Amino acid sequence: MSEIFENNLVFSIAVFFSTIGFVIYHFFNEGQRERLINGSVKQINLQRLSGVFLFGIAPAMLLVILNSGDEISIATGTITKKLFVPFGILSLILVPVNFINAKTKGNLLMYPQIRTEHWNLSLLILSALSWIAYLFAYEFLFRGLLLSSSLNIMGIWPAIILNIGIYSLVHIPKGAKEAFWSILLGFIICLLVVRTGSFWIAFFIHVVLALSNEWFSLRSHPEIQFKMSK
């Protein structure tokens, strides 16, 4: 396949799954806000696994079927030392922000997503693993396939604006605060991915953001108890 055709194919797949795919994801998990407020272990993990399939497995399989599997490694990039400094700096900012925000009423209404009253170490690990799997697929689609293919087609700034636009729209079901916050965070993450040439920094940052928020929210929630033992 020609390079232009490859870029257009990956871009089309990325746009499809980040828009239509998200609509399917949202309505498959219909009543998402209610589920987040009353989410059981099974509900939330099923929701995250549906995201793994729609945002990660499905687009990757489609690329392989269409003989464009090599684009997967091109889109994701590699883990290099130059990722560590920006990752460390941003983590030092985001973790304290999450610590402060975790105690707010709005945050505790949504997080932790699993609303069982009794947490233990096993559930903590299970939730973390499902978060990591979901965020890997999520960033693979947004800052892997979508950003890399749009960069090749339209250049840096249009590609970043497109990415931020779709990224912020998919946060609307979680409320205005997360939707507007995702604009700033999406801009920073896109710049870092462009500079490093790797989606991995987006994935690492998103994992730190999600897990620190969950753990701080778990610690702050008045109706949830955590015990290390079973």
Q: What is the pLDDT of residues 51-100, one digit of tens each?
A: 999 999 999 999 999 887 777 887 788 888 889 999 999 999 999 999 99
- Distance CA(125)–CA(121), nearest Å, equals 6
Q: Residue 107 corresponds to which tokens in the numbers above?
A: 């945050």
Beta-carbon contacts of residue 101 (< 8 Å; ≥ 6 apart)? 107, 213
Number of domains in the chain: 1
Residue with tokens 């897990």: 211
pLDDT at 70: 77
In whole angstroms, what is the distance from residue 195 CA to residue 87 CA? 12
pLDDT of residue 230: 59
Q: State residue 3's pLDDT score.
A: 59
Q: How many CB atoms lie within 10 A of CB 52?
A: 18
Residue showing tokens 């950003």: 147
Tell me which DSSP letter residue 184 carries: H
Beta strand 118-120 with 225-227 is: parallel
Q: Is the pLDDT of residue 30 over 70?
A: no
Q: Where are the beta strands (DSSP E) in the chain?
A: 118-120, 225-227
Total Cβ atoms within 10 A of residue 191: 13
Q: Is the pLDDT of residue 40 over 90?
A: no
Q: Give the single-character DSSP code of 174.
A: G
Confidence check: pLDDT of 31 > 80: no
Output DSSP code: residue 66. Answer: T
Express as a percent the part of the chain with pLDDT over 90.
58
| DSSP at 172 | G
Count how many residues are written for the chain: 230
pLDDT at residue 174 is higher than 70: yes
Q: How far apart are CA 59 and CA 139, in angstroms?
A: 12
**Binning pLDDT at 50, 70 and 90, where does residue 124 land?**
very high
Stretch 25-46: mean pLDDT: 72
Amino acid 57: pLDDT: 95
Res 28: pLDDT: 80
**Please, what is the average pLDDT of the chain?**
88
pLDDT of 178-200, one tens digit each?
889 899 999 999 999 999 999 99
End-to-end C-alpha distance for the chain, whole angstroms: 55
What is the maximum span of the chain, computed from C-alpha positions, in angstroms? 58
Joined tokens for residue 165: 């636009």
Q: What pLDDT, on a 0 to 100 scale, did the predictor assign at position 87?
A: 93
Residue 41: pLDDT over 60: yes
**Higher-confidence position of 152 and 209:** 209
User: For the residues 150-156, what does the mean pLDDT come to?
Assistant: 91
Domain limits for position 20 = 3-227
- Give the C-alpha separation, 146 to 137, whole Å: 12
pLDDT above 70 covers what percent of the chain?
Answer: 92
Residue 183 DSSP SS3 = helix
Q: What is the pLDDT of residues 104-120, one digit of tens each?
A: 988 888 899 898 888 99
Question: Does the CA dihedral 202-205-209-211 come out positive or negative?
Answer: positive
Q: In the predicted model, is pLDDT for residue 36 greater than 80?
A: no
